[in-house]
Amino acid sequence: MRARASSLGVSLRPHLKTTKSAPIAEIADAGGGATVSTLREAEYLAEHGHHDLVWAVCATPDKLDRAAALLDRGVSLILLTDDPQVASAIASHPSDLRALIEIDSGDHRTGVLPGSDAMLAIGTILGDRLAGVLTHAGQSYRCRSVVEVVEVAEIERAAVVVAADVLRSAGLPCPVVSVGSTPTASHAVSLEGVTEIRPGVYLLGDLFQVAIGSCALEDIAASVLATVIHRSLDRIVIDAGGLALSKDRSTAATDHDAGYGRICTLSGDPTDAIVHEVHQEHGLIRATPGLGLAVGDRVRVLPNHACMTAAAHDRYHVVDQGTTIEEIWERANGW
């Protein structure tokens, strides 16, 4: 991904919300800057020497003092807002807090429209505390082909470029023009006018990214270890259910429905079996003649959505090409 960012003329600011782990941040070379989704992530990464961070969830006034405490520790933490009152609280805060304006580039989750009066009002309030603009094309996760993702990537790019141009024309600073999702970062044709990308799930990969062409099955780096606890003529049950795997069903609307996860052998070789039903601690697999699993056997389950699945766990067991655990890496869960 770093090579792709370089080829497109932008910086890579990996979003560590997927992995929440300092060792993985090192692998991602996040020393040049990272993205976080919680203040807990920001504090954790700061403890491990990462001092250039963007918090890519809209801030609220009650969190500003906690954010400012990171600045006091020498961390460059840029906030995000789409609200005039929050912008005013940031602009008047005694610490040198800065913020990006979130732009709605089509996902309609949070953000203001590019070039809108609301955007200009927020920029004016922030003044020299304005760090730039940021968007996340979350609608890329509703795409069902690479062609659709390419189209969304251009919509995403155009939205923030328009926003930046309007702010600059109004005499306001806009040094950062930030876009980001793994699908759009993987397939964008041009990022002219953009300064950085913020993909996250590319660090682990998952079945949904495979389904929409952002990675290959062999690129998936994360799986859940589970044990067979029941076998009958028609079903196999493992001790990984909705809590361990998540109930994400993002692959259901694709041509590669993987249920709640795809079964692999203990050594990581994929099978055709999927977890078709989950309860809190139980995952059900349809028994087939070729699926030679017995009670006590262990399997690995590839996730539909690595961010959601990893969030249920407090560590990663890092294995070699076989089954030997080489290292254990912590995660910084919580908010």
Mean pLDDT by 10 residues, the chain (335 residues): 95 97 90 92 97 98 98 97 99 98 98 98 99 97 91 98 99 98 97 98 97 95 98 96 98 94 95 97 92 96 98 96 92 96
CA Rg value for the chain: 21
Domains and their CATH numbers in the chain:
2-202 (3.20.20.10), 217-330 (2.40.37.20)
The residue among 218, 152, 143, 213 whose CA lies nearest residue 179 is 152
Report pLDDT for 315. Answer: 98
Nearest to 56 by CA among 141, 135, 132, 157: 135
Q: Which residues pair with 299 in a beta bridge?
A: 226
Query: d(Cα 82, Cα 120) in Å, to the nearest integer?
Result: 11
d(CA 323, CA 95): 49
- Token pair 């990214």 is found at 209
CB half-sphere exposure, 88, CA atoms < 13 A: 4
Compute the distance between CA of residue 247 and CA of residue 17 in angstroms, rounded to an integer.
18
Global confidence as pTM? 0.95
* Reduced 3-state DSSP string for the chain: CHHHHHHCCCEECCECCCCCCHHHHHHCCHHHCEEECCHHHHHHHHHCCCCEEEECCCCCHHHHHHHHHHHHCCCEEEEEECCHHHHHHHHHCCCCCEEEEEECCCCCCCCECCCCHHHHHHHHHHHHHEEEEECCCHHHHHCCCHHHHHHHHHHHHHHHHHHHHHHHHCCCCCCEEEECCHHHHHHCCCCCCCCEECCCHHHCCCHHHHHCCCCCHHHCCCCEEEEEEEECCCEEEECCCHHHHCCCCHHHHCCCCCECCEEECCCCCEEEEEEEEECCCCEEEECCCCCCCCCCCEEEEECCCHHHHHCCCCEEEEECCCCCEEEEEECCCCC
Nearest to 18 by CA among 39, 36, 2, 42: 36
Give pLDDT tens digits for 176-199: 999 999 999 999 999 999 999 999
Report the pLDDT value the prediction gives residue 93, as an integer from 0 to 100. 98
pLDDT the model gives residue 48:
96
Residue 9: count of CB within 10 angstroms of its CB: 12
Phi-psi region of 296 (alpha: psi -120 to 50; beta: other; left: phi over 0): left
For residue range 84-133, list pLDDT tens digits in order: 999 999 999 999 999 999 999 999 999 999 999 999 999 999 999 999 99
